[in-house]
Structure 1
């Protein structure tokens, strides 16, 4: 059949010749018209331009996935696939007719070129390579050639990072596009991304980023070659091979020219080239592109439009019909014919497609585009489901469709996930726009359109977030406009330039955001510094006028104002007057800098004087004289804590008036320490350790950071690490003892608990919990409670304080106590100096002071376990009960009896070497031991009578022992002769045989209870 070209005009030429604009102008000049475009995106652009000319009520938009059809529409803008087969419109135009040679879509363009005509005018728009084939197929056609408005030049090869602004970089795979866009973002601030797989809404939004100047680079596939109007100065090919749906092949010159032709707009010339990943183009190819000289299109893809729907086999046969006109060739199987081929093998499809109407419906279903790019068999399965619903129910099952739509209705996920959901929802958008496929098509058209728009917006946001540095892009845009950048600072210190966050201001220091580099960095810094200089002056004025409540000193040595560091403490000659280093940028200068530094120094001095007021008052005391003044000076030098053993001689020499005058300054004379309780609180202790650390470069020493949380928590003891700096513990108010460090005031409370246990006299009643024989005691639950320690910890602590452990079986201890019980209740014993034990004050400090007043008992507290321990040379614990007399009737041997009880009882007594000493040597300033049992006696000092008798006969003389059952009368003589307040007498020794079987220990015995308690704590 001979076709005629009469009334048909072909407007041919390269890109940038104004062909599409010419077609729009011609269409609106007629009363009605239809224009077909190759891309849905381009159709949207032309629709908008036509609406601007004639108004929205007169224009319809029809694509496979979208329909806007006003009732009185006179003009229709369509994709070529959506153009009607026949029309009564006065005007018809088909754009990019050279796509009739495309292997995948070519047959559709060929059909419209050959059969669709306007009543008054028909325009075919395309490349000049179509001239010969159109003249051969359509005799009588009018050819109009339009020259390019600007010239195109080859710019050679350049690295991606050196490409000029307003460049489009072209690649042919999504992975390559993403990789290039990521590189551009890091190096140049960002890039827009255009892929054929993106939804039109997303592509429009990305193109908008580029067109509006938010980014200077566009990374795209060959989708930009199809009529998109872009403001591109240079096109760079990052790849020159593509997959055309069947194979990988090199781009031909016409295809490269179609893409390169996007460079230059109107009369502005453009350039094209390649990146460093592609070999430079040869001269012949460059010349052909620049002169627009390409091989003529010799054949067009064709597929018969006369289809036989009598059966599936007949339909397939009609699709395989070959053309009879020269210049046409039968198209390769497209997506629809491939789907039909798969479905023709399904038994259920063969059984359903029994009439011509059903076969035609099957072919209509096969036209469903494969937006998801899945395997042909999977795509065929979906078509089979849709066709079955159409045949059986007359419409697609809406429950099935609702489930599919629901799965796609999520905006979480990354770029690939959102792209897959958009492809899925586009499938159902297409279904909702097929006539007669749904019972309620309007609802589903709105629903799918809403979801696709939401997904498209989310995808655009993800692309922008990943490939565009908004701060850099906007700043670069402002710099191109030669505009002065505006900077501002928020109330929380965020610094913004042109509304974009560029850094953080903390105190008087500005920290730019990470990655603030590139061509805009200097301009940003300049704008920020201009705003910061004014802000620094204002902040310095506010700091100078601020109250002390706005400033603080942290345990890290930083001074903070309203939470931001403005100064740092450093060591000076005087430990109580540290130097202040101002933390500020150079922008703070002159009087503002001096005022800020002066205010911080004034606060630091006030803070130290306030928090350490007891120490400051003591350093200024004028009413202390003699030894008291010297002891106060040592206490200030020691920052509020002295070991009593180090100043034992001075303390002994103090009279009561001197002691009282020192107590008025908050000084406490404890059993183990001379200290100021007010400085043991977390805040003073933290400041004291900080000042010492500054003076001794100890801020970074091990242990400093671990102490501060313990102080803040008010702990009475903490697990100690031998590797930590021990001075920290002392200044923080802790004593380093074994595995634990115990707070000093708690140790003094422990001394107050131990003292009455060593003063108790056997045979008197009541016997305090933990008392044994007046010379030894056991650890009690009260001791464990105040120390927050376990029995094992308690053992370490008592050893550290210099107490010596005797190991005794529970049976032996119970038997001894039973033998010592008085026949009748005796009067309570009295402490030395006539102070009634029951009448002693409950407060620990008052107890110590009362003991001092009653004969300076604290000067040698409980035989001063610490001092006695630290001056003793005995190192090993005693494993026998040296002072325990065997009960009557118990035979003894020369062998030491082994305890039968599984859990022995530890009896503690003054003596033994202090673990704080190393190598058995006495601590500095202490005397060498003068005898056994931890005696602390000058040479020539007389021994006590009881001790002499013990040394002479091995045990006390009979006539020196008090009558059994009578309470012992307190000795008011020389305190060195008092066994419970002076030096511990040596216990009598005895040889014991293994004890005979005794009756079971009374379960109510305190030692049985103690053993049970220890067993429970171990578990």
Structure 2
């Protein structure tokens, strides 16, 4: 039945005519009233305005998902769907009645404007396009047309990045909205986002960002056209097509006008235009939008209100009823009708819906909104589950509901994930607000509201984090106000302008953060540089007065002050005097820069002289004379390490007094090296290698900077890299020996272990572990332990030191050792054979280097080359017997011809394979006397220079007169130990 229009007033006009404000004023003038609004978001806004006027106790809020109903409330603010079918309120108002023509929701607005009336006054608010149809359907209606308070002008097409501030950019898909918002964030500091799929709380928070000026742009769907009060100066259409639930279509002029009308508020004019890929609007359409002249609404969507609940089929039939009045058209099936059509096919639903009351309950459940936007069949399944619970148990199964609510109660995830969870929880919020659906509705209303609020806040936070650069937006806001920007620098070097991070100051270098471009960046940079100028002067003064403990030199050659880089070292005129290059911006100038440079240079010189004090003291030694002074000079030039073979003549020429004088400076005469043990410690080793790398441009080569701290970490041996210079390893305190580099002092300890093995005489009372026949030895666990090496590594190390390996079958070696032990006095040592390491084959020969000698005064020169005898291929369980030296030319030729040199034949008939050279080399000389023992007949005499690599050369000298032994010499302790053993 269609009611007349008597007592009904239609207040019509374009946007920004104050219609909603007028309705609120009229409602508050009555004792009671109801106002229906198209959006839950708008209902919330109006509810807040009414509460401010009359107090929360007097106002109710009723939406599909929320219900606030104080006892005795006189006024109700509702969504149109939540408005009652009948009321005794004095006043009724329905906003945005032009939505009665909407294909999806129109039938609800039509029903309310035709049937819902206030006792004293009824207002219908909407567009002027509704005037003809309202006058046709409601005879006698009073129409009041309100003009727009401001003008609307077309501004043409502009690029998104050139749109003016306080612009709302309109698109009709979430992907497009997000893409535009991301572009605005990069270019202009950020944008707020308003989508119809967002929860009201999230949309309110996003709108607040825009309204409060934190961002100057709003990217939204046509949701902003539904009465949201926004301070928008310009509306730009980034799309002009939308999906209306059934198809993609172009927006009609009325819809364009509704959205464009958001520009301009109260008496302030607004503009509209297009952007992106949208073509400019034609002149006719522009004129209609500016003058608000649109085609009138000719028909309203309608659906019967006279439902037949006798059966499901009867209900379906009533929904198919056609309107009997011109100007109304039957609405397309809405979500509730679509759900009913699906459920009518379910046998279990038919079995349950057997009475009018149950059919009515089924229709009530079908009204559940599809917030999740899922397929109709899936939505129908949820409706069926709820209906089944209501019929079977009287209420919805709370265990099922609790599980669904629990799944949605997570605030992790990105925007799309949180949006889906909000849609899910809104479904259960709606269920909790249905009367009689739950046993404990209050609990679930509070629970779902809490979860929705938490999810909404999380979504707002994600949107803001993704689409708003707060630093840039706030700075731009201050710039628009023409205010002087305040800059400050934290103790950690963070630079802030107006409380927002703009860059990082490390030492005297400032690194700005990206994000501010164009003219705004200049103002920010000016404020930053002003603060930096003062900070640079203050830092220069503090650095100039700081102690050495505040400065440090890293393995990368960078000088750091309190952890921040302030300078770097580069090659200088001398390796011990590198150049210092300041790492500072141009703002560090004048006296402040000079103070910084002087302080850093003073620290670098002090650091080098302190860490390398033994080397510095040796370079300044005034008590050294003659050869000792020359040897000291060579040590300083080579940064504390010399190969003994390179200075063997000088060392042999030193007398005991000269040696004692140079030892007092920490110099050690080792078997393989002349070196300063104090420089092998991590700190000096790291500094020495760093200085050498800097002098040789090694920092430009990959790897050196990383290897320096590794070599200086106190390790006894490391795997070598052929790509690095061998001098680098030497200065780090390591000897490059094939695949491994061994620390120099460890090699000297190895020489101390090998020496007694070569000095041992067969048949003596005690055979040391590893000794074989006094001329050869096997590797021992002690050797492997100090080197941190494997047996294979040990083989290469010994070859690198100039030792030669003989391969002897293990059984023969064990038998030989057993015979030696049987001839000797009984000992407590373990079985000699068990200590002999075993390998399968020998490797080819390697270049010889100086070999063992007593650490102190015994000088033994290594041959220039060692040729290693080939072992039989794949010979199992052979023992490697190591001996010093190599072969002369006749021995090598004989070996190449497959024979054995006569010099290798053993008088006692035992297996050949070694020579007496090792014995002679191992015996050495006592207390500095370099006299050869056990000369061989086939050895070339001293002075013969035939070019043949020699196995070993012992330089004999006449006995010297006895001199007092230097108390600092290690031989003083050795002599005392021998005297004690004799006693």
TM-score (norm 1): 0.85
Partner of 1:946: none
Q: Deviation string for 1:539-577 (max 9, x for gaps)?
A: 222222221111111110001111111111111112212
Matching of residues 574-589 of structure 1 within 5 Å: 574-589=574-589
Partner of 1:909: 883
Partner of 1:1011: none
Secondary structure class of the residue paired with 1:578:
strand
Q: Deviation string for 1:439-473 (max 9, x for gaps)?
A: 21111111111111000000000111111111111
Contact 1:765 1:822 in 2 (8 A): no
How big is the shift at 1:985? 10
Q: Deviation string for 1:73-130 (max 9, x for gaps)?
A: 1111111111111111111111111111111111111111111111111111111111
CA distance in 2, matches of 1:983, 1:278: 103
Q: Deviation string for 1:750-795 (max 9, x for gaps)?
A: 1111112222222222122222222222222211111111111111
* Shift in CA distance, 39/626, structure 1 to aligned 2, threshold 3 Å: same
CA distance in 2, matches of 1:307, 1:482: 65
Partner of 1:565: 565
* Shift in CA distance, 552/824, structure 1 to aligned 2, threshold 3 Å: closer
Q: Structure 1 stretches of 5 or more lacking a match?
A: 828-847, 861-866, 880-897, 914-928, 935-949, 963-967, 987-1019
Partner of 2:601: 601
Q: Deviation string for 1:580-617 (max 9, x for gaps)?
A: 11111122222222222221111111111110000000
CA distance in 2, matches of 1:599, 1:243: 71
Partner of 2:136: 136
CA distance in 2, matches of 1:69, 1:282: 50
Partner of 1:461: 461
Q: Which moved more, 1:795-804 or 1:661-670?
A: 795-804
CA distance in 1, matches of 2:112, 2:141: 15
Q: 2:867 aligns with which of 851, 864, 875?
A: 875
CA distance in 2, matches of 1:434, 1:607: 81
Partner of 2:933: 978
CA distance in 1, matches of 2:740, 2:289: 86
Q: Which moved more, 1:7-16 or 1:393-402?
A: 393-402
CA distance in 2, matches of 1:562, 1:225: 58
Contact 1:27 1:91 in 2 (8 A): yes
Partner of 2:951: none
How big is the shift at 1:900? 11
The size of the alignment, in residue pairs, is 899
Secondary structure class of the residue paired with 1:535:
helix
Matching of residues 59-98 of structure 1 within 5 Å: 59-98=59-98
Secondary structure class of the residue paired with 2:61:
strand
Secondary structure class of the residue paired with 1:268:
coil
Secondary structure class of the residue paired with 1:520:
helix
CA distance in 2, matches of 1:227, 1:39: 9
How big is the shift at 1:516? 4.3
How big is the shift at 1:818? 4.5
CA distance in 2, matches of 1:436, 1:333: 27
Partner of 1:237: 237
Q: Deviation string for 1:973-1007 (max 9, x for gaps)?
A: 98544039999899xxxxxxxxxxxxxxxxxxxxx
Partner of 2:159: 159
Q: Deviation string for 1:652-689 (max 9, x for gaps)?
A: 11010000000000000011110000000111000001
Matching of residues 358-377 of structure 1 within 5 Å: 358-377=358-377
Contact 1:187 1:518 in 2 (8 A): no
Secondary structure class of the residue paired with 1:374:
coil
* Shift in CA distance, 491/824, structure 1 to aligned 2, threshold 3 Å: closer
How big is the shift at 1:875? 2.4
Q: Deviation string for 1:633-659 (max 9, x for gaps)?
A: 000000000011111111011010000
Are 2:707 and 1:671 equivalent residues in the alignment? no
Partner of 1:758: 758
Contact 1:94 1:125 in 2 (8 A): yes
How big is the shift at 1:820? 4.5
Are 2:481 and 1:502 equivalent residues in the alignment? no
Moved over 6 A (4+): 848-851, 898-901, 929-934, 950-958, 968-974, 980-986
* Shift in CA distance, 324/799, structure 1 to aligned 2, threshold 3 Å: same
Secondary structure class of the residue paired with 1:869:
coil
Are 2:641 and 1:641 equivalent residues in the alignment? yes
Are 2:19 and 1:27 equivalent residues in the alignment? no
CA distance in 2, matches of 1:82, 1:971: 113
Secondary structure class of the residue paired with 1:399:
helix
Matching of residues 713-792 of structure 1 within 5 Å: 713-792=713-792
CA distance in 1, matches of 2:252, 2:937: 112
* Shift in CA distance, 721/318, structure 1 to aligned 2, threshold 3 Å: same
CA distance in 1, matches of 2:694, 2:338: 82
Secondary structure class of the residue paired with 2:574:
coil
* Shift in CA distance, 776/83, structure 1 to aligned 2, threshold 3 Å: same
CA distance in 1, matches of 2:766, 2:495: 76
Contact 1:107 1:303 in 2 (8 A): yes
How big is the shift at 1:3? 2.9
Partner of 1:992: none
CA distance in 2, matches of 1:40, 1:824: 107
Partner of 1:183: 183
Partner of 2:409: 409
* Shift in CA distance, 117/971, structure 1 to aligned 2, threshold 3 Å: closer
Q: Structure 2 stretches of 5 or more lacking a match?
A: 828-851, 894-900, 910-914, 917-921, 942-983
Partner of 1:212: 212
Q: Deviation string for 1:19-73 (max 9, x for gaps)?
A: 1111111111111111111111111111111112222211111111111111131
Are 2:313 and 1:339 equivalent residues in the alignment? no
Contact 2:33 2:76 in 1 (8 A): yes
Contact 2:853 2:924 in 1 (8 A): no
Matching of residues 874-953 of structure 1 within 5 Å: 875-877=867-869, 902-912=876-886
How big is the shift at 1:521? 2.0
CA distance in 1, matches of 2:25, 2:293: 28
Matching of residues 607-626 of structure 1 within 5 Å: 607-626=607-626
How big is the shift at 1:490? 1.8
Secondary structure class of the residue paired with 1:229:
coil
CA distance in 2, matches of 1:118, 1:851: 116
